[in-house]
Structures are given as C-alpha cells and as structure tokens.
Copies of this chain bind each other. A is one copy, B any other.
Amino acid sequence: MDLLKYREMVENTSFCEPTAGLFKDHIQANLVILPFKYAYDFLLFCQRNPKPCPLLEVLDRGDYKLRALIKDADIRSCLPLYRVYEKGLLKAELKDISNLWQDDFVSFLLGCSFSFEGDFMKHELELRHIEEAHNVPMYISDIDCEEAGIFKGKMVVSMRPILKEKLRLAYELSAKYLFMHGAPIHIGDPDKIGIKDINSPDFGEKSSIKEGEVPVFWACGVTPQYIAQLLKIDMISHAPGYMLISDLKNEDLGILRGEKCFLR
C-alpha cells in the first residue's frame, strides 16, 4: 500500500488498524486536542515533560489544518481512530471527529516511539507486538511527571522485550530519536517503576517475553490521555496505537526543528 492510498483509506474510514510497522521511515505522532482554556497549561506541561510529551507541531486555536507533519491534512480525519473523553470518561472511539469540532480546540502533535521501530527492524531487533500482530503494551508507571498548572500525574510507558545482548543497540538507536521519546526510561524490572503485572497492560495488548529477553520501557505519548482521565477534563486524542503518520521521514526532522534555515 502506498501512502496516498493509505491517506485515502483513512480519510474514508476504511482503514482502522494500529499503525506500528507501517511506512517504516516516517515520523508517527500522538494527538491531543483540548479546549483553549487548557492549552497554556498543557503547552507548559509538554515543555516540562519532553520525554512523554515531545512537541512536534501545535495548531492555532480552532485550526484543523496541519502545516508541517502532513501539509494541509485535516486533523479531524487523518488518523485511523480517535478517542473522545468527556469529563475524563472515554465516551467514544470514532474514525472521524469532524462533527465534534469546536472553534476553540487546540491540537497538539507529540512524537511517538513507533518512529524508531523502522530503524530497529533494519538492525534486526525483533519487535514482539509487530510479530504477534497486536497493539504495543502500555502501562501506567509510578514516575511523576513535572506539574504544569492543572496538569499532573504519572507517566505512561510503552514496553518492548529486547534480547539481553541487544540492549545496548536498542538503547543507542532509540536515544538518537530525541523527539520520539529518545532513550528508554527504564530497563529490566517492571516493579521498579510501579508496574505490578507485566501481563496486564493498561493500554494496548500483552507482548510475550521470551527467555533471554528483558522488558524495556519508553516514555509514551498516551500519558496525556491518562491525565485527562484523572483530571476529569474533556479531550480528544488518537486511540492508543492508532497514530498520525507524517509525510515527513525521520531524517526530515530538521525541518520541524528549523534547521532548513541553514539552506539560506
């Protein structure tokens, strides 16, 4: 499937699967849509918590057209699946949120660890959730985020089992992806970061951990969804694992960082 075909199928709601493993070199992103009254606190929360919430793009108040990640795409219909939280409760999973749009909505796009999975595959690092064809497992850890205004809570993390002898490779590859959560937040002992049962993820599905493998945890862009539930606020987000796929490739990230100016 080519990217244009993919965009068409997402747009007409005929594609609805987790996006891990798709378009391997492309940047993937988490989505958070908030009423403007929460936007300053959330922007500050992202500034203070770059591991779970690395900002890639923020749209103007009320604007639903992306500028950088997918030129002129409509943020209300370019993801395969959305979640709608009302006062912190998950009210619906929808393939299109155009009907719910409000003039004061602000859309935030955050980096996603799926972005470096293509690089993992190139280096023959197995990705269990892709092998087993399920969504990546995500857990609510006991690591405190830095507070910003109303926003506070624990960090959500994603988990990938990695062979002991490949830990260094996994660490070093992901560390390069600073705006896609970067290096792992923890390696080895789920209990050390407050995860009681590795077989019961809070989001996504369980990955089996084979002999010789160690669970490795990365900060996760589902953190804001967990915090919206805690704070009992309204939020629209991507459904965990169903990410925005950018036109930009990882190697284009300099464009988002303003490095294009160097061409001047």
Q: Which residues of A line the B interface, CB within 8 A?
A: 39-40, 43-44, 47-51, 55, 58, 60, 143, 146, 149, 155, 178, 182-186, 192-193, 219, 257-259, 261-262, 264
Inter-chain contact B264/A143, CB cutoff 8 Å: yes
Inter-chain contact B40/A264, CB cutoff 8 Å: no
Which listed residue, B58, B149, B192, touches A264 by the CB 8 Å rule? B192
Inter-chain contact B184/A258, CB cutoff 8 Å: no
Q: Which residues of B contact A58 (CB under 8 A)?
A: 44, 47-48
Give how many copies assemble into the complex: 2
15 contacts between A and B (CB under 8 A): A43-B43, A43-B47, A47-B47, A47-B55, A48-B58, A51-B258, A51-B261, A146-B258, A183-B262, A185-B262, A185-B264, A186-B261, A186-B262, A186-B264, A219-B261
Q: Which residues of B contact A146 (CB under 8 A)?
A: 258
Q: Which residue of B lies closest to A254 (CB)?
A: B183
A152 to chain B, nearest CB (A): 13
In the docked arrangement, what's the CA distance between A219 and B264, Å? 12
Which listed residue, B184, B185, B262, touches A184 by the CB 8 Å rule? B262
In the docked arrangement, what's the CA distance between A192 and B264, Å? 7
Inter-chain contact B51/A259, CB cutoff 8 Å: yes
Q: Which residue of B lies closest to A192 (CB)?
A: B264
Which residue of A146, A192, A262 has the most chain B CB atoms within 10 A of its CB atom? Answer: A262
Q: Which residues of B contact A258 (CB under 8 A)?
A: 49-51, 146, 219
